[in-house]
Chain A
C-alpha cells in the first residue's frame, strides 16, 4: 500500500479522497478508522498504550489521521520492544506527550487537503459567528427599554397650568355634546354650496347660541385638550371608542378631537356664509377671526404632525372665507371691519408662525425610549420588546429593508440581527435632532431664503450605502415629509399675502371708486409695503382683468404669465406653481393669490 505524497498527481488525488465525508462514512461504516481498536489490538505494555492514546486523543485530528498516527507510534514502541528496550525506557525517550500532540496536529493539518482545510475553517468561522450571534441574541432579548419621561404627562402638566377659565376645550366639549345629540352630522356633511344649503342655513340660524359659544371660546388662550386615555378623551358621550386599551404615549396617541375641531371649523365657516347672506358684517368678521384663533389654539397645542396640519387647514379656512367675502359680498364688511381683519391676519410672517415641528421631536424621543435600551449615558440598543412595538404600531410603519426586518421579526432567529443593522439610540437621536434642526431652520425664514437642500443633503449623506440606509431607516420612515408641510404653510401664507392686498384694494376702491394702477399706490396708507412674492422676493404682481383685480406670484418658473393658471392634465392647477426647493418641478403659469381661483370642479359643486 503506497500513500506516496511525493508526486503532485497522487498527492492531490489522495487529498481529495481524504475528505471529512469519506472519513465519516468509512470510519463509521467499516470501523477501519477505529484507532482505539488499533491501539487495543497492539501487543505492547498498557502504559505505552495509554501514552499513545493520550497523544493521539490530544491531537484532535480526524479519525483517519489519528489511525495513521496511532499506527506509527505503536509500531515505534513495538520496534523498540523487539530491540530489547523496556516500555519504561521507550516512554522516557518519547518526550513531552502534550508537545508531541501539538506538533503532530500542526504537521498533520498542514498535510490536509485544501477541501478539508476550507471545510475546517468554514466550521470554525461558522462556530464563531454562531457564538457571536448567540451573544447578540442574549443582549437583544435581555435588553429592556426603560422609558423615563412621560411626554404625554409632561404636555398635560403644561396645559393644566392654565386656569380652567382660560381653556377652550371644556366649552367646545359642551357644545359638541349638545350638538351631537341633535343628529347634526348628516346635515352638515353636505356642502355649503350644495342643494341642501337652505336646510343647513336653517340649522345654523337655530343654533346661534352654540356657535356664539364656539366663537367666544376661540378667544381663550389655551385649547386645553388633555392627552391620553385619562385626559379629555375620558368622555364617553364624545369619545365612546376611546375608553379601553393601554395607557397612551406619543407613539400610540389617539387624537379623536381633531375630527371635532374640524367640525367646529366647519360650523364657523358655514356661519360666515350665512352671515354674508344676512349682511351681518360683524358676524362675518368674528367668524373669520374665530377660525384664525382656533387655528392658533390648535397650533400651540397641536400634538404631532397631523395636528399641526389641521391647524394650517383651519387657518386656510379662515382665509378662504375672507376671500369669498371680498369677492362675493365685499360690502358686507365696513371699512373698520376690513381694517380690523387686515390687522388680525397680518401677523404671521414665516411658516414657523403657523406650524411647529416640536411635537415630532417628542414623538421620536418617546419612540426611542420605548424601543431602545438605556445605558444611563444616553445610549442603548434596539430591544426585542422595542421591535415588537414597531411591528405592532401600524402608524409607525417602517419601510424599506428595515421594514422587512421589522415585519418579519416574528421569526425570533433574525431579530438579534437588528442590533447590527439599526443604529444605536445615541446615533439615531443625534441624527434626528440634526435633521429636525435643519427642518426647523427651514420654516423660520421665508421659504425662498431657506436652505431646502440641507435636510435632503444630510439624509443623502446618511444613506449613501444600503447598510447605512438600513442603519438610519427609522429616521427616514418616522420623520414625515416636513418639507412638504413647510410648503403647505408657505402656500397658506402666500394666499394670506394676496388677501392683505385684496383688503387694501377693496378699501382703495371704496375711496376712489376705482382700483389703483399699481400696488405701490396702496402704500403706505393702506399697506405698509407691497407683500413680497414668496417665490422671487419681488413685489407681488397685479393687474386688472375685466375691471377686477388679480394679484399673483410669477410662480416657480419666475416668468410673468399675466396671471394665467398652470394647467395639469387639461385642468387648472391653482397651486401647482407654488413650489420651492430642489424638488420643485418647473411649471408654466402663475400662482394666483387673490381672488382665490375656484377650479371648475368646485364651480360644478357650487352650481
Chain B
C-alpha cells in the first residue's frame, strides 16, 4: 500500500524519538507484520521524511556506540494529521463498500 510506510513511521515517532532498528521492530510488531520493512527500505524512507522537514534527527554520542535518533517535527505532525484523515476516509469507504468490516 503505497504511502502507508511514511504515515506509519510518523505515527510511531509521535510516541517519542527512536532509532532505526527500534522503528523496524515497532512497525513489524504493531502492524502484525503487514508494514514490516527491512532497513533497505526504512532508511531511504527516513531520509525522505528528513528531506521534507517532517522528521529530524540527532546523533547521541553519550553511549559507547553513537546512535542516531529520529523524531517527528511540527511539520511532520501536521502532515500526519492530514494523512490520518485521508486514511480514515479511505477506510470508511472500504467499509461502506464491504471490503473491510467495522
Residues in chain A within 8 A of chain B (CB atoms): 1-7, 11, 55, 69, 71-73, 75-76, 78-80, 83, 93-97, 99-100, 103-104, 106-108, 110-111
Contact = CB atoms under 8 A, between A and B. Distances in A.
B39 A94 contact: yes
Interface stretch (B60-68, B79-87, B93-101): B60-68
Given A76-B39, A79-B21, A94-B39, A100 B44 contact: yes
Contacts of A108: 47, 51
B12 to A, nearest CB: 16
A3 B102 CA distance: 43
B44 A75 contact: no
Given A73-B39, A76-B21, A96-B40, A6 B53 contact: yes
Contacts of B67: 75, 79
B38 to A, nearest CB: 4
A93 B38 contact: yes
A107 B48 contact: yes
A4 B58 contact: yes
A107 B21 contact: no
Contacts of A97: 40
Nearest to B36: A93
A110 B66 contact: no
Given A79-B22, A93-B38, A94-B38, A73 B43 contact: yes
B37 to A, nearest CB: 7
Contacts of A11: 53
A100 B58 contact: no
Given A1-B59, A75-B67, A75-B68, 20 more contacts: A1-B58, A2-B59, A5-B50, A5-B51, A6-B74, A75-B21, A75-B66, A76-B39, A79-B19, A79-B20, A79-B21, A94-B39, A95-B38, A95-B41, A96-B40, A100-B43, A103-B40, A110-B47, A110-B52, A111-B50
Interface string B8-36: 00000000000111101100000000000
Interface secondary structure of A, over-half rule? helix
A103 B66 contact: no
27 contacts: A1-B61, A2-B59, A5-B51, A6-B73, A6-B76, A71-B66, A72-B39, A72-B43, A73-B43, A75-B19, A75-B20, A75-B65, A76-B21, A76-B39, A79-B22, A79-B67, A94-B40, A95-B39, A96-B40, A97-B40, A106-B44, A108-B47, A110-B47, A110-B51, A111-B47, A111-B50, A111-B51
A15 B93 CA distance: 43
B57 A4 contact: yes
Contacts of B22: 79
Interface of B: 19-22, 24-25, 37-41, 43-45, 47-48, 50-53, 55-59, 61, 65-68, 73-76
A110 B48 contact: yes
A393 to B, nearest CB: 61
Contacts of A93: 24, 38-39
Interface centre among A76, A104, A106 (most CB of B within 10 A): A76
Contact of B21 (A2, A80, A104): A80
A72 B52 CA distance: 19
Contacts of B45: 107
A55, A69, A97, A103 interface centre (most CB from chain B within 10 Å): A103
Contact of B43 (A2, A104, A111): A104
Contacts of A106: 44
Given A75-B65, A75-B66, A110-B48, A2 B58 contact: yes
A107 B58 contact: no
Contacts of B41: 95, 100, 103
B28 to A, nearest CB: 9
Given A72-B20, A93-B39, A107 B44 contact: yes
Nearest to A2: B58
Contacts of A1: 58-59, 61
Contacts of A83: 21, 25
A442 B97 CA distance: 84
Nearest to A10: B56
Contacts of A76: 20-21, 24, 39, 43
A106 B50 CA distance: 13
A71 B68 contact: yes
A69 B55 CA distance: 16
A22 to B, nearest CB: 18
A4 B68 CA distance: 11
Contacts of B66: 71, 75
B9 to A, nearest CB: 13
Contacts of B73: 6-7
A277 to B, nearest CB: 104
A45 to B, nearest CB: 15
Nearest to B66: A71
A477 to B, nearest CB: 56
A163 to B, nearest CB: 91
A99 B40 contact: yes
User: Of residues B22, B40, B61, which shows the largest number of chain A Cβ atoms within 10 Å of its Cβ?
Assistant: B40
**Which residue of B50, B66, B73 has the most chain A CB atoms within 10 A of its CB atom?**
B50
Contacts of A99: 40
Nearest to B73: A6
Contacts of B40: 55, 94-97, 99-100, 103
Given A75-B20, A79-B19, A103-B44, A5 B56 contact: yes
B65 A6 contact: no
B78 to A, nearest CB: 12
A4 B56 contact: yes
The 6 lowest CB-CB distance pairs between A and B, nearest first, are: A95-B40, A100-B40, A103-B44, A79-B21, A6-B73, A107-B47
A5 B44 contact: no
A8 to B, nearest CB: 8
